[in-house]
Amino acid sequence: MTPLRMVIFGPPGSGKGTQAKLVSELYGIPHISTGDILREEVERGSDLGRMAESYMSRGLLVPDEVVIGIVRQRLMREDCRPGFILDGFPRTLRQAEELDRILGELGWRLDVVVNLVVSEEEVLRRITLRRVCSVCGEIYHLESNPPKRPSVCDRCGGRLYQRDDDTEETVRERLRVYRAQTEPVLRYYRERGLVRDVDGNPPIEEVFEEIKRLISSIKGPI
């Protein structure tokens, strides 16, 4: 298959990370999650991590220059040649414009922006019961996608934790930020004919089937 360069889009908790991991595995392309990269920096206690945490803990966006720099460096790496799936980036118009510039420098362009459509009520239910593996990053949900043993990752045995920003109050702020700063990005991509809306409400496997269908309709079968 020719390279697959896609963005997975949607509000916090819509299932971007879950679907991005599945796409990444099936198509053999890196899953680039700015949220995961920033959380690693926070974990490491780097200067960047400390700065980022002051925004993340309040549900606010980390400054554009910081995340754009991270993504630029990441896309330059060799493993992005067969393509990539961006998750949680771009989140502002400025980030979308800079992404176009970076891709232009590399002689690339996006194939598709998959927009996961999920109600705010469902998003709240998903985020407040989300658990993440502290070792491999696998994503669980206490009701819809629970681990076999409580607090233990099925894949690697790592300990599961709840993200600091997954509280109801912070999620409400993140949803406000999404509507004000991130939704305009969707219009930007719609004008360019790149957006495919996917119903994100069905079970994980069904949403993934739909995304695979969509990718084959654009790129042909794997």
Residues labelled catalytic: 16, 91, 130, 163, 174
Site mask for ligand ADP (CB under 6 A), range 59-98, x = bound: xxxx----x--------------------xx-x---x---
The DSSP string of the chain is: ---EEEEEE-STTSSHHHHHHHHHHHHT--EEEHHHHHHHHHHHT-HHHHHHHHHHTTTPPPPHHHHHHHHHHHHTSGGGTTEEEEES---SHHHHHHHHHHHHHHT----EEEEEE--HHHHHHHHHTEEEETTT--EEETTTB--SBTTB-TTT-PBEE--TT-SHHHHHHHHHHIIIIIHHHHHHHHHTT-EEEEE--S-HHHHHHHHHHHHHHHH---
φ, ψ for residue 138, nearest 5 deg: -55, 145
Site mask for ligand ADP (CB under 6 A), range 6-45, x = bound: ----x-xxxxxxx---------------xx--x-------
> Hey, which residues between 119 and 158 contact ligand ADP (CB under 6 A)?
126-127, 130, 139-141, 144-145
Binding ligand ADP by CB under 6 A: which of 32, 75, 207, 215?
Answer: 207
Residue span binding Zn ion (CB under 5 A) among the ranges 13-21, 102-110, 133-141, 164-172? 133-141
Q: Which is nearer to ligand ADP, 163 or 219 (CB)?
A: 163
Q: Are 205 and 10 in contact (CB under 8 A)?
A: no
138 binds Zn ion (CB under 5 A): yes
Question: In terms of DSSP bridges, do strands 160-161 and 130-133 run parallel, antiparallel, or are they unpaired?
Answer: antiparallel
* Of residues 98 and 107, the one with the C-beta less far from ligand ADP: 98
CB-nearer residue toward Zn ion: 106 or 135: 135
Question: Does 48 sit near ligand ADP (CB under 6 A)?
Answer: no
159 binding Zn ion? (CB under 5 A): no
Residue choice 26, 136, 152, 222 for contact with Zn ion (CB under 5 A)? 136
Candidates 57-65, 83-91, 116-124, 152-160: pick the segment binding Zn ion (CB under 5 A).
Answer: 152-160
Q: Which region among 106-114, 128-136, 185-193, 202-210 touches Zn ion (by CB under 5 A)?
A: 128-136
